[in-house]
Structure 1
Amino acid sequence: MNTAISQQSGDVRGNILATGQRIMAGKGFSAVGLNEILAAAGVPKGSFYHYFGSKDAFGEALLESYFEDYLADLDQILGRSGQSMAERLLHYWQSWQDNQSVFDCQGKCLAVKLGAEVADLSEAMRLSLKRGTAGIVERLARAIAAGVDEGSVRIEGDPLDMAQSLYQLWLGASLMVKITRNVQAFEIAMQTTRQMLHLAS
């Protein structure tokens, strides 16, 4: 009985988070009210406050959940067998482009959408973003170092610095794609990535 209740509780909380992620990825954090999320999730307001103490607490949990899924996907991409590390890295950036070239990204581009907005609104959400993006950069740095060791990647300088530069490049490209409504920024980012890692076109 307790297990069933716990499972149901997790389902309700997960449903609220998934619904909020989808809506906020399209509209942003401040523009979305709790009533809109709860109506879309089919959950009464009392249930929301059972799981989250405030909208900021919800935002923090939303980002934690987003990055947990994101890092799991990244680990899967970078852990693929039968590919060089260069191929795995290129697959990651191609997936980034595919997910965020669609203007309705269905929650897949939450960090890009909310990053600048919530960093100034909530310290807790800013720190969640900082932890999540640091996890991405650390994984990319390890992958770049492994690629250098196997000979599929060649860089000048430190793998962590390179990973940071590339992540910032792609964040900037994502913003430009939203502004221009075309994918030229991603094409340039991919070309620059290949040059920085000395990969064949």
Structure 2
Amino acid sequence: MNPAPDIAGTDVRQKILASGRRTMGGKGFSAVGLNEVLTAAGVPKGSFYHYFGSKEAFGEALLQDYFDEYLAEMDQIFGSAGQNKAEQLERYFAAWMESQSFEDCQGKCLAVKLGAEVADLSPAMRAALRSGTAGIIERLTRAIEGGQADGSLASNGDAPALAQSLYQLWLGASIMVKIVRGPQPFENARLTTRQILHPSR
């Protein structure tokens, strides 16, 4: 017989991760100490080391948890009935514009916020970033291939290359909106995306 899952332990771990996402999503990884994360979570310091061996291990788990949720949301968008792939892609990038705010993204822009910073700090965190972004590009690739197949996208370019280029375009736009403090980079990215994919509608 398998032991019953430790629901309380799972809740505490998720509470710490949620607190870390909010605080580090706003200030960055290096600028936030563990005490700040734990105080915001209302969890004693001893509990942290029960779940995470170090701040680096916490950062790795934080990114994995973020990407698990992000990829699940992508799967929901691209699996929705009643929309062709062009419409689903439009919906995905509209959601990107809404969540990657230049004001307060509430931890939803964690990959953008931490990407450049932690890639040079930690091989484990860089691996989590690489795995998560690969998952995003893979889903974009399948959506583009689906749009080419169902006729909703007129572009006949190489889907994996298009997906990678689009992800890089939107990642750059997410940084630029924080620099210019306005949505224009996203509007430019959306226009370029339509020019690249040529939605048929």
Structure-2-length-normalised TM-score: 0.96
3-state secondary structure, aligned to 2:100:
helix
Name the residue aligned to 1:107.
Answer: 107
Look up the match of 1:153.
153
User: What residue number does 1:78 align with?
Assistant: 78
Residue 100 of structure 1 deviates from its aligned partner by: 1.3
Q: Report if aligned partners of 1:194, 1:200 keep a CA contact under 8 Å in 2.
A: no
For 2:101 and 2:14, the matched residues in 1 are separated by 26
What is aligned with 1:195?
A: 195
Paired residues of 2:152 and 2:200 also in contact (CA < 8 A): no
Using the alignment, how far apart are the partners of 2:86 and 2:15 within structure 1? 37
Q: Is the 8 A contact 2:115 2:129 kept in 1?
A: yes
1:102 Cα offset (Å): 4.8
Tell me, in whole angstroms, the C-alpha distance in 1 between the residues paired with 2:104 and 2:188. Answer: 22
Contact 2:154–2:198 (8 Å) recurs in 1: yes
Q: How far did residue 103 of structure 1 move? A: 1.3
Work out the CA distance in 2 between the residues paired with 1:22 and 1:75. Answer: 24
> Could you tell me whether the CA contact under 8 Å between 2:25 and 2:113 is conserved in 1?
yes
Give TM-score, length-normalised by structure 1.
0.96
Report the 3-state secondary structure (helix = DSSP H, G, I; strand = E; otherwise coil) of the residue aligned with 1:168: helix
Alpha-carbon distance in 1 for matches of 2:137, 2:155: 16
The answer as to whether partners of 2:148 and 2:156 remain within 8 angstroms in 1 is no
Unpaired segments ≥5 residues, structure 2: none
> Where does the alignment leave 5 or more consecutive residues of structure 1 unmatched?
none
* Superposition deviation, residue 155 in structure 1: 1.9
What root-mean-square deviation, in Å, do the aligned CA atoms of Structure 1 and Structure 2 show?
A: 1.2
After superposition, the C-alpha distances for 1:149-193 in whole angstroms (9 at most, x for unaligned) are: 000012242100000000000000000000000010000000000
Q: Secondary structure at the match of 1:104?
A: coil
What is the percent sequence identity of the aligned residues?
A: 64
CA distance, structure 1, for counterparts of residue 122 and residue 114 of structure 2? 11
List per-residue Cα deviations over 1:29-61 (Å, max 9, x = no partner): 000000000001011111000000000000000
For 2:57 and 2:16, locate their aligned partners in 1 and report how far apart those are by CA, in whole Å. 13
Distance 1:102 1:83 in 2: 29
Alpha-carbon deviation of 1:114? 0.3
Is the CA contact 1:66–1:110 (under 8 Å) kept in the aligned structure 2? Answer: yes
